[in-house]
Chains A and B, each alone.
Chain A
Amino acid sequence: MGDISRRHFVKSAGVAGVALWLGLTAKGAAGKRSTLAAAKNFTPFILIESNGQITLYNIKPEMGQGTYQSIPALIAEEFEVSLDQVIIKNTGGEKEFGNGQRAGGSTSVRGSYNEMRKVGAAAKAVFITAASTKWQVAENTCYAEYGKVIHRPTGKSAGYSELIEEASKIDLPKEPKLKDAKDFKIIGKQAHRPDIPIKTNGSAVFGIDVQLPDMVYASIERCPVIGGTLKSFEATEALKMPGVIKVDKVERIVGIYSFIGVAVIANSYWAATQARKKLKITWDTKGYETYNSADYDAYLWKHANEEGMVDKNIGSIDTVKTSPQNTIDADYETPVIAHHTLEPMVCVAKVTGDEVEIWSSNQVPNLITGAGDNDIPALTGFKPENVKYHNMFIGGGFGRRLYYDYIVEAVNVAKLIDRPVKTLWSREDTTKKGPWRMMTFSKMSGTLGDDGKLIAFRHKVIGPNFHESLFKTFDKTRLDPSMVEGIGTQDYQIPNLRTAYVKTDSHLPGAAFRSVVSSTICFPHESFVDEMAHKAGKDPMEFRLNMVAQTSDTWKLLQKLRELSNWDKPLAKNKGRGVAQWKFFGCQLGYVVEVAHDPVTGMIKIDKVTALIDLGVVVNPDNVKNQIEGAVIMSISAATKPGITFKNGVVEQSNFYDNPVPRINETPQIDVHILADGGRMKGVGEPGVPPFAPALANAIFAATGKRFRKMPFDLQVN
């Protein structure tokens, strides 16, 4: 573990004396083991050691979404321990922790909610039985609290660690009794995240912070033209630079693409970057150097009239009578964007013979050590059992770190040298080399009936499919439901609805971005509903409510949002409110955005954002609020800041000076409200993104009469 073991981050530390692991068997039943070595098909989540130490394993990578608290909290709640008295360890793709070691799709907490509580409850039951057996008292006279079993009549108590011996002999209950929500001490309560203290004094170890004895550094020059490949390189000058150890070509695999770059390995990162500038490289860019964003946009619109692959086709939309008086057709555009995680891509790797040890920050540790064709072992030529991974705190994920192209590349760098090597991307590398969130364009058409209700609605999505760039097995002949996520499944009751997708070809490596395709297609959808409301002369909130059943989630959400946002209270001149909601991934959130327009300067200012997220059950309410506040800022970024564009095959942007993200002075008032009425549990991380842009666009329209159909919005409206 070298000198990083001082931080609590990974498992496999030495165990103190007798120990007991409790967790789940492959069949999902609670189980326990006295030694982990004997464990087959068993996932440990709790480790009790005889020295009193209790460890909870968090299998959901921590990237800022709060799993370092929320996942252990589920175990701790039922196990009756406080998070202050345990050690939390993030897992790193170890086989025993299974395929659940990934964070994406806003599934971490809701996907773990029952299982983790069950583990905690079963473990608690075992220790209560152990204590009552030891004390020879009735089980129902004992209870657990703060890591101890207590005999109620006498007040006698024993810590879990004192009961290991007895506990190891007792069978776990198959269906342990879970607590009533009213008895929760942690879940649903205001809580401090245990990773915050170490994130305020510099001691949290992110991927970039891993330091190993004898470690060297690499910086990689990659082809400026996306798709181009290496012809030859000349490193004489680079090798003369102080500190340079080695220069060689390396392969990076991102999805279906293989890119060859030239790595400079040096005794400091600085030396590597300086020598990198001295490389003389000839690239073969043939066929790729003519790629321009404007041309590609034109190509998308050229294909927009194709029927595409139809998803929903409700009613008989082709026979609906239309006239200019009752119909709107509109074209919407969104750009390619970079995730801009503040921690750039980084990975430390050490190859020893046929084994590799890897330290990085990534959302899918299960694939770093997995046995699949697209997993790191297969991509780098190691046997899965010979890949050891440590997942560190992640300096921002947002979907970018669902991919491990940078880990493949870093492992390939490590093959060049018999020392641990840290391969670090510069900000420019992360901006210019992707993978990026791809654009979608949308062709919208809507028709109103005589009663002013929406009777026909078409939404056709046009754009490249990021899944096609990721998987060789991608089937072009079938509709990828991701590309129409949400547009056919809102609660709106529209008698004639058609949604479709026209797939276009692209050579760019595409990526999921927080909320995936909803991050682009909710904007046209919910903006266009607004357009239709105005066409009908109706209040946009009222118009939506009239389209949904009173028993629907959306009715409930919008009614509450209407009240929370003071929707019906008139605003001053030059101010406007906009509403939008989105139901997708089994999540739902609605926004009301208030803007003010300065008629002199033309500037639009976002005054206030009211968010309402429907969660059913909430684990850490303050963290949910933090997530949504952040999603608003990220959405202001996506909606109003310039995207990534290409000229002659090269990304035109480099760094925050020409690809800016919002700063503190652009932060509006944000009021986040949570609907937690005990209904179905829903996710948190992503639903804050999709409906923000349309709510903002709708608010700007209300304030100024200017309708934005293309991102980024220019907030100077004259």
Chain B
Amino acid sequence: MDEQKIPFWRDDRVLKIVGQVIVLAVILVIGAIIVNNVSVNLRRLGLPPGFGFLNSPAGFSIGDTAIPYSSTDTFGRALLVGIVNTLRVALLGIVLATLLGIVVGIARLSNNWLVRQLALVYVEIFRNTPLLLQLFLIYQAGFLKLPSIENPLRLPAATYLSNKGMHILWPASSLRTTIALILIVASIILGLILWQRRLKVMELQGGSVGRNYQIAVIALAVIGVLALLFGLEWEAPQFTGNSVDGGLYLSSEFGALLFGLVFYTAAFIAEVVRAGIQSVSKGQWEASQALGLQSGLTMRLVVFPQALRVMIPPLTSEYLNLAKNSSLAAGIAFPDFFQVAFTINNQTGRVLQVLLLIMIVYLTINLIISLIMNGLNQRVQIKER
């Protein structure tokens, strides 16, 4: 009996290819219909394609700029200002939210009842209300209710607080400051390298050798602190009667967005930290206690490094959320990238081009954060032989 050939309409291999071709065809047809409609509508509205408009003058001013910008600059420059603002708030937000989140997460596990309950209340309140509402509340009922710029609140360390924002002590941009900054960074890097070398030497030779290294590190630390205190040219804000000049100016929109993002994200990070610490088995605590480690050292040297392995993947998604949530700046008129792009869309009507730019920028930011965190994740994983 010769073997029966399977007819092609029942052949699994053929069916798979045909199925995919059909799906692709359906999607292409729907896509073509949509593209056709969009182009018809765009032509009806008289909107030309292309990105040439980025080179024409913007004509609107931006309230809070970290790089020089005036309303005669181009749309492209305005977008760059927006990107810098987004990155500024996202980076600072990630750092501060992580710090606050770790503190609250550890407080959730404190053996002090009151601290535990306060941390729980904090987490529940901030996780169960929308971020936009918190931003509105912080901005409108917080920052805007501060005294006006003619009569600002004076806080210690020459800090002025008004409903326009905050002026804080900041190193002026001068040659002296640059040299001091280089000194500080160099001494930190050198110090870290020496410290690692010292640990290695101690590991190899045993006992507490490496005294020379210790002295060198202390000397570097002294240089760094001296440069920080006296090298930098600190510039204090000056109150001139009806405004404040000098120092670093942080607008109240920036402050509200930063505070909102930090408080909101820290509540989620706190839960990540708590879950991470709880995932470390109890035996690890007990073993390090049996070895005579104090509880602070146990946390730092034994528990936290292990918890970090569990924490980094969810932490990554919280960072991504923070970066994406920074676009809620639109609700409180902070000129972040989205807000600037939206203003440009309103002025020029280039919907598709502006949306494409927004997609590219946010996907790139997300990709960068993911790559960095994945690299970190690989570093903290258990190195098995």
Please determine whether chains A and B interact with each other in the same assembly. no
